[in-house]
A = this chain, B = another copy of it.
């Protein structure tokens, strides 16, 4: 799915790559059911990872690092592309996204309150969306070899995080 795109995923190839008999349609009624199961497994792990990160000493910095970590990003992009045209998968991802977003807001609302920052864009909702949007854009462009403005916007985002959460601590201190 990551290497060739969702369209290249087929029951036959899965069975073949896994060295298993092609009984996919015995275990999954349709391919969508298989994709949904795959998505849920990844989402469960990612959510655990997110909660771990959001409970660290500098949740905003850690969240930003997590967003920029491409290890799940490519797969997520494929699911979004797939969901654009499959209703069942779209609603699955939408509900999952709300869960992730709620977790982010729950953790970061506390951070905002604690730090009592007076940044002009201070709502947790705006900050979370800004980080999410910028990170996704940067990683997408990276895949195309584009980098115009990347350092500038990264600098801006990290300045925002610093205003809210303070200077980034070194790994040993975090």
A residues engaging B (CB < 8 A)? 3-8, 74, 77-78, 80-85, 90, 93-94, 97-98, 101-102, 105, 120-121, 123, 125-126, 128-130, 132-134, 136-138, 140-141, 143-146, 148-150, 152-153, 155-156, 159
Contact = CB atoms under 8 A, between A and B. Distances in A.
A159 B5 contact: no
B93 A144 contact: yes
Given A4-B85, A85-B4, A134-B130, A80 B153 contact: no
A9 B110 CA distance: 48
A146 B92 CA distance: 12
Given A101-B148, A129-B153, 10 more contacts: A3-B85, A77-B84, A90-B144, A105-B149, A120-B156, A121-B156, A126-B152, A126-B156, A130-B153, A133-B134
Contacts of A140: 80
B149 A94 contact: no
Given A81-B77, A85-B5, A150 B129 contact: yes
